[in-house]
Amino acid sequence: MKRAAAAAAVLIGLAILWFVISGSPPNEGGYLGYVEGDLLYIGPIEGERLGSLLVETGDHVETNALLYEMETPLLDAQRREASDRITQMQAQLENLQAALNRPQQVAVLEAAVERAKAVLLLSQQNFQRQKTLYAQKDIAKSTLDNAQMALSRDEASLEEARRQVDAALLTGRTQEIRGAQAAMQQAHSQLNQLNIRIDRQKVHAPAAGVVQDVFFRRGEMVTAGQPVLSLLPPENRKARFYVPQSELTRVKLGGRVRVACDGCAGHLSARIFYVAGREEYTPPVIFSDEERQKLVFKIEARMEGAARELPLGLPLRVYLEGDAAK
């Protein structure tokens, strides 16, 4: 009797050891898991004080809905300075353009050129006449010299009048205007950049979802990139479960699984999108009387349909396609 009892105990021990190593058949109870979610942590691009918070934990928001606004005192001051600079540069540009486009003044200078030409023509004729008279010895040499000096004077006057017209139409003035116009474009670009930076301090929801948590309140300082709140879009909910190595070949990327939980509606499903590349120990959160610590592979499946409404952390049982059919 003792020998029979000892043999039975050995057989029971071997059976328990085999159960621990191999795990329970998956078709009987599925795989234990829980609901997880890929949260969107939404923070400002530039650090500042939180000006207003327009949502609270649990709120449903739509895409592009305004979530919160950061204060922008420094950016507002820089924008006012950039706007004043543009006003000043615009006045300078208009002054340069007015200095170039002065047709009345140019017309006066051109009239002076024509008058100088007429005076020069008279001087030339007088010089030729005096030269002829001097050759005939009808006038003194001093009279011819005076005619020569008058001719030289009138030639210089014509040259001066022409140069004044050229000075009024200098190409250097055009270059100054082009430089002022380029500076204006640069100032407008800087103003546009400031406007963009200020607008980006009004943070909108990148996707529709539920606000999971709020980390800052109005008046608190937030550094650049530090999340003010977390948002969970419905499509980011997933089922995380663990499959032993012996059953890993039954898991296919893109395959559909059935998920079940206490009090949940039937026909909930998810689609596998991730299979771990290496094994790990069963996490404590899925310990149970049936499961023992063993090496498993982590699997994640994206929730579909009504399963996207399941709360985070909810324990699940996950059945592969073959298990669901059975």
pLDDT number for residue 17: 38
pLDDT number for residue 144: 81
What's the pTM value of the predicted model, to 2 decimals?
0.63
Strands 229-232 and 209-214: antiparallel
CATH of domain 77-197: 1.10.287.470
CATH topology of domain 21-38+234-325: Elongation Factor Tu (Ef-tu); domain 3 (2.40.30)
Per DSSP, the three-state class of 124 is helix
The answer for residues whose C-beta is within 8 angstroms of residue 136's C-beta and 6 or more apart is none
The answer for residues whose C-beta is within 8 angstroms of residue 108's C-beta and 6 or more apart is none
> Please, what are the averages of pLDDT over each run of 10 residues along the chain (326 residues)?
41 37 48 92 94 95 96 93 92 75 74 88 89 83 84 88 78 73 91 94 95 95 94 94 86 90 87 84 54 73 90 90 53
**In the chain, which residues fall in CATH 2.40.30.170?**
21-38+234-325
**In the chain, which residues fall in CATH 1.10.287.470?**
77-197
